[in-house]
């Protein structure tokens, strides 16, 4: 069981890395916004599996914290991206 | 009984990993922002959801199980909101260019 | 090579990368990011070495862990202050260059502006 | 080679790759995104190192608040990048690379050649758990055995906020930090900002409460509360308070203030500064933590909001 979950966690991590590569070099801002979202979700899934594999039940708490803060970070990211696109909001300072 | 639980875990986590694979392939191969976003949300909703579902039988207590489910619900909420905002920003980018 | 050693090597590399970025990157914001990278490498080294201090009931020496938590908070405060300084510099001088007199606007602006 | 080691090598390789990306990529915006991803995966490493308390802190700061702080600055400075791009000369680059490689190699050597004898305070910490009644050893170190460090750390947070505020232009002195956000009050962002904070507040308090016996604590909980507050601000549901507000300033000093009072009480009634009487240790520590979570949440939120930019309405 542990071996299977460890393999699964490694697999998802590789997928996460591949997704990151494709997105970080992606041409547009929207692609980078997707990166934030993908990292959040993939990180949470990896964390939950890792917690079960290593027998650290508190990893679930880390995942819970991450779920909230990743949401916040993605929203902030998209909002900043939006405001720098249409020129209203924080990017427009003066 | 524990065999049933383990089989559930293996099946669901494998399916979740498959959706992460599908999402990543979509991100790598799909041509434009909106289709890539479509691929991403599959990894978000189904990938995470199936991983959570697979880990439920392994959870030690009811409280841990509830935490797992609430993590998935938070993920759903975040995914839905963020992808709508991204899609809107992509539309805006198209119209201004 | 044990799993913990792999992370130790990764931390050493992060310190090196952070130091390189801190010296060579001309943009102040990049310097701040590089400094954080360096810091996280140092914190990880604490964790890797503290892993050896595992005792009954704890998987990692609690004293370095507490030090790292304090360190993360202090690093965050310093980053926030540095970014506030940087934004103010940008507001005032219209650029974020650190080199003296590289831009005419940075050199000719009266300091009291 | 076991499966576990493969996973760790993959994780270390991805983290290292992100570190290289962050250092080498041309655009600052991409570097910031890379650094956020880096911070999140470092949290995974901390879980693997069995340091869940640090993982929580790293997830809250590296993946969350710190990332948003850097992103905000990168978004604002986007236009500035075009002007200032004088790269250092080749000699500087080569010597910097040589120096960095030397230091990294020295550290790697130190990691590989750690002495066999382990000097650790972990058994001492575990042996003295009875003194506070809390069973999380890290909380014990932070709040009791090395409480002085934690108190001064809160003072550093306070000094940082004083430093950030003092950068305000004269016209905005004592005013609101950051821009006033306007969004569609029936839009999806406003919806999320109404739905998520109640959940976030519960989780934040849970993380504080569980910190007594399991990984967690005031700082991690405070970071969650701060992010929920900022979410409501970003959605335009509420505004940042004017920094001259007396109530705000009282909250900012409540945590370190209570800590200091308890510390002086230890000097008066007990053996030393910050010595808790054993019977009262747990309630005192929890009291300080509850005051601190409010202070921390407010301070972190205001550090992210930045210097005052708009004068307070009179």
Q: Name the token pair of D308.
A: 């005052």
- pLDDT value at position A39? 78
Q: Is the pLDDT of residue D277 over 50?
A: yes
- pLDDT value at position C100? 58
Q: Is the pLDDT of residue C78 over 70?
A: yes
Q: Is the pLDDT of residue C3 over 80?
A: no
Size of chain C in residues: 113
Say which residues have a Cβ less than 8 Å from residue B14's Cβ, sequence separation at least 6.
A8
How many CB pairs lie under 8 A apart between chains A and B?
148
Domain encompassing residue B88: 2-96
User: What's the helix, strand, coil split of chain B in %, to 5?
Assistant: 90, 0, 10
Q: Please judge whether A79 and D48 are an interchain contact, meaning their C-beta atoms are less than 8 angstroms apart.
A: no
Query: Domain residue spans in chain C?
Result: 3-93
- pLDDT above 70: percentage of residues in chain D: 95
Q: Is the pLDDT of residue D100 over 90?
A: yes
**Which residue from B33, B75, B92 is facing A44, i.e. has the nearest CB?**
B75
Q: Name the token pair of A2.
A: 């542990």
Q: Is the pLDDT of residue B9 over 60?
A: yes
Q: Please judge whether C66 and D122 are an interchain contact, meaning their C-beta atoms are less than 8 angstroms apart.
A: no
- The interface predicted TM-score (ipTM) is 0.89
Higher pLDDT, A31 or D238: D238
Q: Please judge whether D36 and A6 are an interchain contact, meaning their C-beta atoms are less than 8 angstroms apart.
A: no
A38-80 pLDDT, tens digit per residue, is: 878 888 999 999 888 888 888 899 999 988 888 888 888 777 7
- pLDDT value at position C113? 35
Beta strands in chain D (DSSP E): 176-177, 308-310
The total of structural domains in chain B comes to 1
Across D3-7, D110-114, D295-299, which has the greatest mean pLDDT? Answer: D295-299
**Chain D (199-258) residues lying within 8 Å, Cβ to Cβ, of chain A:** 199-200, 203, 207, 210, 214-216, 220, 223-224, 227-228, 230-231, 234
Q: Is the pLDDT of residue D1 over 60?
A: no
Query: Up-side HSE of residue D125: CA atoms within 13 Å toward CB?
Result: 30
Angle between helix D188-210 and D281-305 (nearest 10): 150
Can you tell me the mean pLDDT for D153-172?
A: 90
What is the pTM (predicted TM-score) of this model? 0.89
**Chain B (30-89) residues lying within 8 Å, Cβ to Cβ, of chain D:** 70, 74, 77, 81, 84-85
Question: Quick one: fold of C3-93?
Answer: Helix Hairpins (1.10.287)
- pLDDT value at position A90? 39
- pLDDT value at position A92? 32
User: Mind telling me how many Å the CA of A65 is from chain D's nearest CA?
Assistant: 7
């Amino acid at each position: 069981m542990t071996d299977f979950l460890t393999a699964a966690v490694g697999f998802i991590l590789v997928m996460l890395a591949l997704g990151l590569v494709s997105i970080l070099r992606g041409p547009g801002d929207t692609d980078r916004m997707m990166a934030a979202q993908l990292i959040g979700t993939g990180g949470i899934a990896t964390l939950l599996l890792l917690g079960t594999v290593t027998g650290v039940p508190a990893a679930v708490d880390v995942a819970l914290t991450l779920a909230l803060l990743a949401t916040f970070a993605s929203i902030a990211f998209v909002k900043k991206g939006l405001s720098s696109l249409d020129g209203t909001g924080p990017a427009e300072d003066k | 009984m524990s065999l049933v639980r383990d089989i559930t875990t293996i099946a669901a986590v494998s399916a979740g990993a498959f959706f992460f694979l599908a999402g990543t392939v979509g991100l790598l191969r799909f041509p434009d922002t909106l289709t890539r976003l479509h691929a991403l949300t599959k990894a978000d909703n189904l990938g995470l959801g199936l991983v959570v579902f697979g880990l439920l039988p392994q959870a030690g207590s009811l409280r841990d199980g509830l935490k797992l489910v609430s993590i998935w619900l938070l993920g759903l909420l975040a995914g839905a909101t963020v992808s709508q905002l991204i899609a809107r920003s992509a539309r805006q980018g198209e119209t201004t260019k | 090579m044990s799993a913990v050693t792999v992370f130790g090597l990764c931390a050493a590399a992060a310190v090196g990368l952070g130091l390189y970025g801190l010296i060579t990157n001309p943009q102040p914001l990049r310097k701040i990011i590089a400094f954080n990278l360096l810091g996280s490498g140092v914190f990880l080294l604490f964790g890797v070495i503290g892993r050896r201090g595992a005792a009954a009931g704890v998987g990692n020496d609690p004293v370095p862990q507490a030090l790292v938590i304090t360190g993360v908070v202090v690093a965050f405060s310093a980053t926030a202050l540095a970014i506030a300084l940087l934004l103010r510099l940008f507001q005032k001088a219209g650029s974020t260059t650190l080199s003296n007199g590289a831009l005419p606007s940075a050199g000719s602006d009266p300091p009291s502006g | 080679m076991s499966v576990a080691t493969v996973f760790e090598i993959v994780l270390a390789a991805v983290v290292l790759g992100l570190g290289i990306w962050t250092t080498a990529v041309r655009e600052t915006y991409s570097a910031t995104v890379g650094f956020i991803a880096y911070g999140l995966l470092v949290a995974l490493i901390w879980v693997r190192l069995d340091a869940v308390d640090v993982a929580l802190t790293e997830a809250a700061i590296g993946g969350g608040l710190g990332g948003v702080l850097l992103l905000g600055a990168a978004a604002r400075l986007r236009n500035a990048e075009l002007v200032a791009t004088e790269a250092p000369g080749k000699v500087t680059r080569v010597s910097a690379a040589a120096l960095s490689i030397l230091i990294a190699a020295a550290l790697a050597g130190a990691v590989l050649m750690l002495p066999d004898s382990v000097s650790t305070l972990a058994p001492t910490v575990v042996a003295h758990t009875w003194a506070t009644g809390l069973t999380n050893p890290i909380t014990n170190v932070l709040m009791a055995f090395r409480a002085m460090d934690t108190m001064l750390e809160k003072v550093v947070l306070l000094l940082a906020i004083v430093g950030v505020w003092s950068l305000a232009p004269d016209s905005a002195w004592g005013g609101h930090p950051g821009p006033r956000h306007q969004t569609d009050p029936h839009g999806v962002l406003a919806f999320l900002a109404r739905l998520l904070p109640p959940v976030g507040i519960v989780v934040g308090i849970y993380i504080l409460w569980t910190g007594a016996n399991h990984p967690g604590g005031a700082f991690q909980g405070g970071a969650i509360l701060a992010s929920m507050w900022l979410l409501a601000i970003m959605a335009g549901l509420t505004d940042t308070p004017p920094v001259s507000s007396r109530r705000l300033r009282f909250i900012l000093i409540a945590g370190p203030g209570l800590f200091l009072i308890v510390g002086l009480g230890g000097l008066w009634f007990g053996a030393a500064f910050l010595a808790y009487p054993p019977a009262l240790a747990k309630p005192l520590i929890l009291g300080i933590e509850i005051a601190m979570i409010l202070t921390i949440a407010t301070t972190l939120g205001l550090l992210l909001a930045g210097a005052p930019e708009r004068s307070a309405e009179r």
